[in-house]
Structure 1
Amino acid sequence: MSLRTVALRLLPATLLLLAACSESNPKTDTASAKEETMANTADAIDHSKSASPSVSEKPSATATAAKPTAAPDTAYAQDVAMFLGGLQPSQHSDLKQLAATPAWQAFAKDQDKSWDKYRATHTTRMTQWANTELDSVHASSPTIFYPFSGPDFLNVVTMFPTSQTYVLMGLEPVGSIPARATLENPRLLPAVKTSLWSVLNFSFFRTNDMAVDLKSVELDGALPLMMLFAARTGNQITAIRPVQLDAAGQLQDAPKDSIAPPGLNQKPALVKTIPGVEMKLRGPNGQPKTVYYFSADLSDWKLTSKSAPLEFVRHLGPLTTYVKSATYLMHKSYFNKVRRTVLRRSRYILQDDSGIAMKYFQKGAWHFNYYGTYRRPINLFAKQYQPELTAAYHDTIHPPKQLPFGTGYNWRQTDSNLLLAKRLVPLAD
């Protein structure tokens, strides 16, 4: 365990959250659009975040005509997912020898303990709650859109286990399936453990610290953790392929060079596309699932010239949107495009108070169910306080319902909230 991790565990929870989200000199909504981007917001939240390359411009003819990369070895991908998750790889896996080492055995034992605790405090309660409160939502939610998600397949599949397609978007690079040399790195297992600690204890990622930890052991993006979460939620990986979006938001096979780690002399034409990955799964009950992750900046300034992410979303049909621990980005005027897409294309929206501010929901167009407790946001986000939510949570005629688990920045069960918005008017064209 690193000294930094030990220090974090000794800090009070409030200081931990401030360390996870420390923002200096936040800009106002009236600032120049060129200054206000999703990437800039992430930089402000944690100064340790390294600069990430621009990832979404109109692709050139060269990029679209490039030869698709070969599909990765699915059996190897599943074994890697199991190995990273502290689960025994398959009997004939080349990783079986690595899994027999004392270091991995200790890691696996520790992970079992952590995941058992997480199931007791989160997964079991979330599943029971979702089966009751989201029953009708599940029946009408083949596709889930999860903006600002990072690699968090864990929470979305727990909330929506019967959905068929999950579309995740975040700033983190896509990443690739770890090579054998990476899995042999003695620093790998401590880095994975450190990176998972906050999501298993607080339900959200300390994203930028996670990026630093994983980059140090050559885990180069969201995919390795998505694979880990798939394995730990009982899903079997059946296929993984790198993909990209063209200017019209159409899905394409990605040339191999287009998902190379930052700084590897990528050709300018290739970095202009929206890089992504498609992960095919077989669920615990045999149901096929498809998970997409796209590395994209969803701020208005980026989407003005690089609208492919939202074009892709608009062609998915009716959505259920899930938003959690989203740093209140859609409260702000310069995230109008993604907010408007969510409001126009969603039949249901499940979010904590960091999602879409109540003032943006059209009056009479939505029915709201409130869960848990709404207090003021943590100090970092104090300006995003919503008096409308306070009034709703103090409604004695229609009081909020209980929320039996913690979620979001106010991660304690007694402080957490969720809002389920159901559309009452037809979807926009």
Structure 2
Amino acid sequence: MSLRTAVLRLLPAALLLLSACSESNTKTETATSAKEETMATTADAIDSSKSALPATAKTAAATPRPNRLTAPDTTYAQDVALFLGGQQPSQHSNLTQLAATPAWQAFAQDQDKSWDKYRATHTTRMTQWAATELDSVHANSSTIFYPFSGPDFLNVFTMFPTSQTYVLMGLEPVGSVPARASLANPKLFPAVKASLWSVLNFSFFRTNDMAVDLKSVELDGALPLMMLFAARTGNQITAIRPVQLDAAGQLQDAPKDTTQAPDPKSVPGVEMKLRGPDGQSKTVYYFSADLSDWKLNARKAPLEFVRHLGPLTTYVKSATYLMHKSYFNQVRRTVLRRSRYILQDDSGIAMKYFQKGAWQFNYYGTYRRPINLFAKQYQPELTTAYRDTLRKPKALPFGTGYNWRQTDSNLLLARRLVPLAD
């Protein structure tokens, strides 16, 4: 019996073995007076429930990688995105020789099958649902904020295909456009396939495994997968620019001299410009940032940037229930103060934090209780709402979040009824 078959038969217990959110296994420091839990330590706790990784994988993950984040040739970046996604690069690309190998041809066929299945079970249903249920949201959502996202451009674009700006934040390092030598590594294709497996089957990333898989072939952060998702959703990359946020949250070019120590209050990031399937221009930002209160007290730039974006629509999925907790107060408060709409599964903002009378709620799918790993985050308020016989929840025709089966998934759309806070 194959490993995947065994895993699927053992679900939902296997969910305890999957790294559930899109944050990396980065360790955070602890305060000298008291140990604070952060995004990173929460991710560590999830990953610790998994079985041990093979020694060879651990060794590969520990190998240092060079910093190659420089502004790439745009044509090359688009070809890399196509190549990583199993799509034919352009005719004159220097990757055409690699794409002619039997290994890539087999990889491309396998990717086509996986993406065809994903479109049938997720993309088509999500697009149809969003066009109906989020039509007014789309009309008023030029900017989407997706905290705790990791590289998940796939889901946010599918939900909000008409938006102009997407701001993603997670613990994964920013990464760089892979060099040709990395793309020629024979281990690349199984690593990419393994990294995509859980998001295409369960809608969320395995954090620890994804980091090991990608680092083993020198894909050094979120950017390569963001590029892959952009290509597979019909977007064309027109520019990639390394950026950073200064201490005040202002966007800047990243310093070219990587030998100098970075400003400890700056936040590394990347700007990816796209031409959408409809021909419209889009901008995607990813920032590598810990959004716990403890880290934000020392480095406020991430939320300062968000506060100056104007009215937001916030999307939250598979976020390990971090905003349920008291030490993620700052990011939760920013979302509640600056968002016109919030679309989330039950791992987003707990119902008790929404001001009564300030929001209108639409419930979709089914809510019973979180998976065992997050059992303490059960919300009786949601059970009551989902059992309301006068305002019955609407159907959700696709699976999402930790309760990934369609029959077990839920989404909540919150619409602001009062003016935005200053």
Q: TM-score, normalised by structure 2?
A: 0.90
Task: Kindly report which structure 2 residues correspond to 1:13-412, keeping only aligned pairs within 5 A, or say none.
Answer: 13-21=11-19, 34-47=35-48, 71-256=71-256, 267-270=260-263, 272-412=265-405
CA contact (8 A) 1:370 1:419 kept: yes
CA contact (8 A) 2:265 2:301 kept: no
Query: Aligned with 1:377: secondary structure?
Result: coil
Query: Aligned with 1:120: secondary structure?
Result: helix
Gaps of 5+ in 2: 22-32
Q: Which amino acid aligns with 2:361?
A: F
CA shift for structure 1 position 34: 4.3
Distance 2:354 2:124 in 1: 31
CA shift for structure 1 position 35: 2.0
Residues 384-407 of structure 1 show CA distances to partners (whole Å, capped at 9, x for unaligned) of: 000000000000000000000000
Query: Aligned with 1:256: secondary structure?
Result: coil
Q: TM-score, normalised by structure 1?
A: 0.89
CA shift for structure 1 position 44: 1.0
Query: Aligned with 2:18: secondary structure?
Result: helix
CA shift for structure 1 position 267: 4.0
Distance 2:234 2:261 in 1: 39
Residues 146-174 of structure 1 show CA distances to partners (whole Å, capped at 9, x for unaligned) of: 00000000000000000000000000000
Q: Which amino acid aligns with 2:16?
A: L
The count of residues paired between Structure 1 and Structure 2 equals 397
Distance 1:257 1:272 in 2: 17
Q: Which amino acid aligns with 1:18?
A: L
Residues 253-310 of structure 1 show CA distances to partners (whole Å, capped at 9, x for unaligned) of: 001355xxxxxxx643345420000000000010100000000000000001101000
Distance 1:211 1:11 in 2: 25
Deviates further, 276-285 or 4-13: 4-13
Distance 1:369 1:151 in 2: 27
CA contact (8 A) 1:8 1:16 kept: no
Distance 2:419 2:181 in 1: 53
Distance 2:262 2:97 in 1: 42
The match for 1:61 is none
The match for 1:28 is none
CA shift for structure 1 position 125: 0.1
CA shift for structure 1 position 212: 0.7
Distance 1:150 1:299 in 2: 15
CA contact (8 A) 1:22 1:44 kept: no
Distance 1:269 1:112 in 2: 41
Distance 1:152 1:269 in 2: 26
CA shift for structure 1 position 15: 2.6
CA contact (8 A) 2:246 2:265 kept: no
Q: Which amino acid aligns with 1:13?
A: L
Q: Which amino acid aligns with 1:299?
A: S
Q: Percent identity?
A: 84
Distance 2:331 2:208 in 1: 23
CA contact (8 A) 1:21 1:380 kept: no
Residues 231-265 of structure 1 show CA distances to partners (whole Å, capped at 9, x for unaligned) of: 0000000000000000000000001355xxxxxxx
CA shift for structure 1 position 16: 2.1
CA contact (8 A) 2:19 2:208 kept: no
Match among 5, 10, 18 for residue 12 of structure 1: 10
CA shift for structure 1 position 217: 0.6
Seen in structure 2, the aligned counterparts of structure 1 residues 70 and 372 have a Cα distance that, compared at 3 Å, is closer
Seen in structure 2, the aligned counterparts of structure 1 residues 153 and 376 have a Cα distance that, compared at 3 Å, is same
Seen in structure 2, the aligned counterparts of structure 1 residues 88 and 5 have a Cα distance that, compared at 3 Å, is farther
Residues 304-357 of structure 1 show CA distances to partners (whole Å, capped at 9, x for unaligned) of: 110100000000000000000000000000000000000000000000000000
Distance 1:36 1:91 in 2: 50
Deviates further, 69-78 or 162-171: 69-78
Distance 1:267 1:230 in 2: 32
Gaps of 5+ in 1: 24-31, 54-68, 259-265
The match for 1:419 is 412
The match for 1:56 is none
- Runs of 4+ aligned residues of structure 1 deviating over 3 Å after TM superposition are 3-11, 47-51, 266-272
RMSD (Å), alpha carbons:
2.1
